[in-house]
Amino acid sequence: MDISWTGYATLAAILAPAFLFLVIYIRGINYRRKAPMANLDHVRMEGKTVIITGASAGIGKETARDLARKGARLILGCRNIPKATKVAEDIRNTTGNEDVHVRQLDTSSLASVRKFANEILAEEKRIDVLILNAGIAGLDDRNLTADGLECTMATNHFGHFLLTNILLGLIKKSRPSRIVVVASTALTTNLRIDMRVDNLNFEKGGFWSFKSYAQSKSCNVLFTRRLADLTRGEGVVVNSLDPGLVHTEIFDKSGGLMVGKVVRLGVPFAGRTEVQGAQTVVYVAASEEGGSTTGKYFEECKISSTADGLLNDEELAKQVWEASERLVGLQPNEKHY
């Protein structure tokens, strides 16, 4: 039977997506099978206060659940209070830990960050672990917050930068203490992108969805490097990490061609589960290694060299820190270094 070129093209158009899906599916099975476990069932955290941003879903939720099992006092800083309240109740029910609390926090809003931080300082006696987890990705356009900040950068970096600075005094008093920054391998793409410190907010153009996300995650790592330098020898360790490719709501809610319409289709099959994605976060937050080293980047529950290009750039880390101070309007009474 003769088949025309049109027929071949039609057949290829049908088979190519099916083949691609099969490859993604098989690789996903293997990726999940190789997911590391923190293996910290022996670690107890009674008497320790842990703050987790963005803990109403995904990696943050499962990190909170794991640390609740270890006996930690948990404060979930979340934008959606009704949703977070249900999550907190579920964590209490599944772990038996009643010391799980919800506080309003929208890291894209500097006013919300300041309100949350000041409430914590007024109500809490210590902060043993601060986990900066909240994040968004894949916005179609350069959307600005009420503070005039690009929304992805505000949520993923600027809000966390301000929050950490305000809480740093109490974190130091609680030593030995930890700051855990959830970054991403997306930063490796940004190693090849000309990240202009004078354009962190994209006022001078160059915005597109994946670049904004990658830049925000690169800033997470540079922030880790600078803060580790500023707190070295003061009983505070600061480390960043990559949780891996994880199927969470961040993809389901994303717009944009790169994330929303392409990656979103494959992540459910290629990505790890939320519990698997939380493992490296838990490891950095609770393991002996996570508490004995500072200024490092972790992947797969171990120190990784993936981000060395950023971690070794002391000057860029300093410039990003100073630019971030200006953009969030950091006040003298908010500086504790």
Residues with a catalytic annotation lie at 213
What is d(CA 187, CA 308) in angstroms, rounded to the nearest whole number? 11
Contact (Cβ atoms closer than 8 angstroms) between residue 307 and residue 187: yes
The edge-to-edge listing of strands for the beta sheet with 49-53 is 100-104, 73-78, 49-53, 129-132, 177-182, 236-242, 297-299, 302-303
What is d(CA 337, CA 226) in angstroms, rounded to the nearest whole number? 11
What is d(CA 152, CA 129) in angstroms, rounded to the nearest whole number? 24
What is d(CA 289, CA 185) in angstroms, rounded to the nearest whole number? 21
Residue 227 tokens, joined: 């803060």
Contact (Cβ atoms closer than 8 angstroms) between residue 290 and residue 178: yes
Residue 187 tokens, joined: 């930063």
What is d(CA 158, CA 291) in angstroms, rounded to the nearest whole number? 25
